[in-house]
Amino acid sequence: MSERTYLEVEDLEVYRRLCLLHIDVCALTHVWPVEERFELGSQVRRSSNSSPAQLAEKNDDRHVRNKIEGVNRSRGEAGETIHHLYMALLKQYISDQIYATFRMRYTALGL
């Protein structure tokens, strides 16, 4: 049996942290007003899940440029998630502190 020459997606710290962020975003949105759970809440949940999904999709790709594309897409989804959380802040569904914490957690990933 040959030894692996690449990391599985679950080995990537950024992937694991993005997955945990998605779980936390989901928990956050489930206390928003009912009408927003299926509007803004759905959007932020989908973008927060798409960020690690983009890394997973391109991780096994043999071409470096495609892996980079996955990272760039993941970064875009993280930015979209931050935007949706900012809208939640403006609508007063979350506090300044919660927004700042999530924003810091996303930006700390260096995507």
Determine, yes or no, domain membership for 67. Answer: yes
pTM, rounded to two decimals:
0.89
In a domain, 69, yes or no: yes
Task: State the pLDDT confidence band at 17, using cuts at 50, 70 and 90.
Answer: very high
The per-residue pLDDT for range 53-101, each reduced to its tens digit, is: 999 999 888 888 988 999 999 999 999 999 999 999 999 999 999 999 9
CB 44, CB 81: distance < 8 Å: yes
DSSP string, 4-58: P-S--GGG-HHHHHHHHHHHHHHHHHTTS-HHHHTTHHHHHHHHHHHHHHHHHHH
- Structurally, how many domains does the chain consist of? 1
Which domain, by its residues, includes 93? 33-107
- Model pLDDT, residue 4: 64
Q: Is residue 49 part of a domain?
A: yes
Q: What is the mean pLDDT of residues 35-52?
A: 94
